Chains A and B, each alone.
Chain A
Amino acid sequence: MTEDNMIQVENLTKMFGDFTAVNNISFEVGKGEVFGFLGANGAGKTTAMKMLIGISEPTHGNATVAGYNVLTHAEHVKRNIGYMSQRFSLYNDLTIKENIVFFGGIYGLSSADIKEKSQAMINELGLHDMADSLVGSLPLGWKQKVAFSVAMLHNPKIIFLDEPTGGVDPITRRQFWEMIYMEANRGVTIFVTTHYMDEAEYCDRVSIMVAGKIEALDTPKNLKRQFQVDSMNQVFLKLARNIE
């Protein structure tokens, strides 16, 4: 593994009974890279991601995330990554501030640190008027922006984003991507799944999973050239259709 690789995956496999959900996948992701992890529903993305964040044990193969082996050092992995999904992100019945304090505590930050970070975050997101409102009352797009910042509270080297923008309005969706770019520019590695194919174009590299395997992995530009089409949407349709 080179020093710059934040994720190194070798022959990673996960079986449930005789069903192979993830079938011998290998790839690496560099520091500060925006890596798009695409695939159809049921292709094995979530299973693969669960192994990478240390909450599911691989059946075969190896993965190193932020320098730690996901099997032998799962706790270290968890401490060095951020994770955010569309389904579970923040507590709706707590205010924005309370959520920050809660998750800051979970990540083991000192109270001084939490205070400083929450102030910085409220300033950066322009949340002064909303800091004491319940998260449940925020529009989805705002929730997702706050959730992203909360997942970054402990300065992780990598952040995993599982469909972070599903259902979010088009303007906020783009603001969200600007936050992603900003973090990547600071050297944070971004691992993101999405069903919006325009968002696939924003990634440095994209992998496409089909039936448990990675069937394509390259920059959006090269993938479009390889499949002789002019959008990632067409790349996706071509790949997933052909296999079926």
Chain B
Amino acid sequence: MSIILNNISKSYNKVKAVDDISFEVKPGELFGLIGPDGAGKTTLFRILTTLLIQDKGNATVAGYDVLKQYKDIRNHVGYMPGRFSLYQDLTVEENLNFFATIFGTTIAENYDLIKDIYVQIEPFKDRRAGKLSGGMKQKLALSCALIHKPKVLFLDEPTTGVDPVSRKEFWEMLKRLQQKDITILVSTPYMDEAELCDRIALITNGKILQINTPGAIIASFPKKIFKVRSFNTYKLIEDLRIYPDTHSAYPFGEYLHFTPKSEAFRPMDLTKYLEERQHKEIEVKETVATIEDTFMDLSKANE
């Protein structure tokens, strides 16, 4: 196993940031930690990269214990924190050189690994890192995290605040890195990115809700789910909230996702109810759950 966590807990004062978390990441796996701000993702990353000591439990990364062998871990992992943490006053090339030197290597030695990513910012190699655009900073940070050829790569919310186009490109880069035998643990608050991982852990309030492949998580959604639409979305939300058979009703793009309380629910009953309430252009259709539906259902059940 590339990463093993056994019953890891960490509190800040009285707040349990990470509460008894265990999971394993296989070699070469692209594993996603999916959860909102404050779920405990960053705390986990900091424990696994030996920057923070857990209160309870133990963990290994690339076979090394996070407490006893922290120096070995530091030599064998790459870490890209959520906040841009390179030297703003050094140029692109100076930053990369700096990180290569610290790890006792050179840019030339591992150029192969970063080539794909680095060529895109190489034309700006004399520019100071602080003057780069968001997307270019991200590419530089990833190059620096990779320059010593790590066995395990930790990426803490690399795509937060990044537009959909750049996000897509970033995930394509990750997929290519995975081909080079690097284990990747990545966190994101964007549920649509979950489907790009081999396996994911849904995490909220310091606890894991579920771990599995994205497909299995979607398939495990326990209820029938319907997409509902009418001309006035706001009124639709209000009316679904007071509909007696509503278990949940959440906006989902142009539709609302609706789950009924009763097994015997029939779409035509809901259509009739909405017609009585003067809705127009009504559509009620059974649909397939997404990771986000599952996440909301599980966190609702956990409250």
| B79 at the binding interface (Cβ < 8 Å) | no
Number of A-B contacts (CB under 8 A): 97
Interface residues of A in 191-206 (CB under 8 A from B): 195-198, 201-202
Contact of B166 among A41, A170, A220 (CB under 8 A): A41
Residues of chain A with a CB closer than 8 A to B135's CB: 41-42
One of B38, B157, B168, B296 near A170 (C-beta < 8 A):
B296
Q: Can you name the residue of chain B whose Cβ is closest to the Cβ of A196?
A: B190
Pick from A170, A182, A231, A241: contact of B295, CB under 8 Å: A170
Flag whether B299 is at the interface (Cβ < 8 A).
yes
Q: Which residues of B contact A28 (CB under 8 A)?
A: none
Number of interface residues of B (CB under 8 A): 36
Kindly list chain B residues whose C-beta atoms are within 8 Å of the C-beta of A182.
234
Whether the pair B133, A41 counts as a contact (CB closer than 8 A) is yes
Q: How far is the CB of B241 from chain A (nearest CB, A)?
A: 9
Determine, out of A2-10, A108-116, A173-181, the stretch whose residues face the partner at the interface.
A173-181
Asked if A167 and B36 make an inter-chain contact with CB atoms under 8 angstroms apart, the answer reads yes
B300 at the interface (CB under 8 A from A): yes
Measured between alpha carbons, how far is A174 from B249 in the docked complex, in Å?
Answer: 10
Query: Which of A61-69, A74-82, A232-240 faces chain B?
Result: A232-240
A139 at the interface (CB under 8 A from B): yes
Interface size on A, residues (CB 8 A): 39
* A131 contact set on B, CB distance < 8 A: none
Complex interface bits, B205-236 against A, C-beta within 8 A gives 1, otherwise 0:
00000000000000000000000000001100
Question: A237 near B253 (CB under 8 angstroms)?
Answer: no
Near A by CB (< 8 A), chain B positions 283-303 give: 292, 295-296, 299-300
Any A CB within 8 A of the CB of B81? no
A45 to chain B, nearest CB (A): 10
Q: What is the chain A residue whose CB lies nearest that of B167?
A: A195
**Could you give, for residues 207-244 of chain A, a 1 whenever the CB lies within 8 Å of some chain B CB and a 0 otherwise?**
00000000000001100000000011100110011000
Known: A171-B300, A178-B237. A140 touches B251 (CB 8 A): no
Residue pair A201, B295 in contact (C-beta under 8 Å): no
Which residue of A has the minimal Cβ distance to B159? Answer: A195
Look across to chain B and name the residue whose beta carbon is closest to the beta carbon of A201: B253
A166-B161 CB under 8 A given contacts A41-B134, A140-B36, A221-B254: yes
Q: Which of B38, B165, B252 contacts A237 (CB 8 A)?
A: B165
Contact with A along B158-181 (1 / 0, CB 8 A): 001111111110000000000000
B252: chain A residues at CB < 8 Å are 198
Contact across chains for A198 and B250 when beta carbons are under 8 A apart: no
Residue in B35, B39, B254 whose beta carbon sits within 8 Å of that of A220 in the complex: B254
Answer whether A236 and B165 are a contact pair too, CB < 8 Å, given A140-B38, A169-B204, A169-B299: yes
Within 8 Å CB of A169, what residues of B? 35-37, 39, 189, 204, 299
Complex alpha-carbon distance, A39 and B164, angstroms: 9
B residues less than 8 Å from A139 (CB atoms)? 37-38
Chain B residue with the shortest CB-CB distance to A138: B38
Whole-angstrom CA separation of A16 from B296 in the bound complex: 44
Q: Max chain B CB contacts within 10 Å: which of A139, A171, A177?
A: A171
Bound-complex Cα distance A198 to B166 (A): 17
- Provide the bound-state CA to CA distance between A166 and B161, in Å: 7
- Check A202/B36 contact, CB under 8 A, given A39-B163, A40-B166, A182-B234: no
> Quick check: A174 and B161 within 8 Å, CB to CB?
no
Chain B neighbourhood of A42, CB < 8 A: 133-135
How many angstroms from the CA of A127 to the CA of B161 in the assembled complex? 28
B191 at the interface (CB under 8 A from A): yes
Find A40's partner among B165, B189, B234 (CB 8 Å cutoff).
B165
**Can you list, as one digit per residue, whether each of B136-172 has a CB less than 8 Å from chain A (1) or not (0)?**
0000000000000000000001001111111110000
B35, B38, B204, B252 pick with most chain A CB within 10 angstroms: B38
- A-B contacts besides A169-B35, A170-B250, A178-B251, 18 pairs, CB < 8 Å: A41-B161, A139-B37, A166-B189, A167-B36, A167-B157, A167-B160, A169-B189, A170-B36, A171-B250, A171-B300, A178-B234, A184-B234, A195-B161, A195-B164, A196-B190, A197-B164, A197-B253, A237-B165
Measured CB to CB, the residues of B under 8 A from A are 35-39, 133-135, 157, 160-168, 189-192, 204, 233-234, 237, 250-254, 292, 295-296, 299-300
- Minimum-distance CB pairs A-B, first 6: A169-B36, A167-B37, A201-B253, A181-B234, A40-B163, A140-B37
A selection of 6 A-B contacts at a CB cut-off of 8 Å is A40-B165, A42-B134, A170-B292, A220-B254, A233-B164, A237-B164
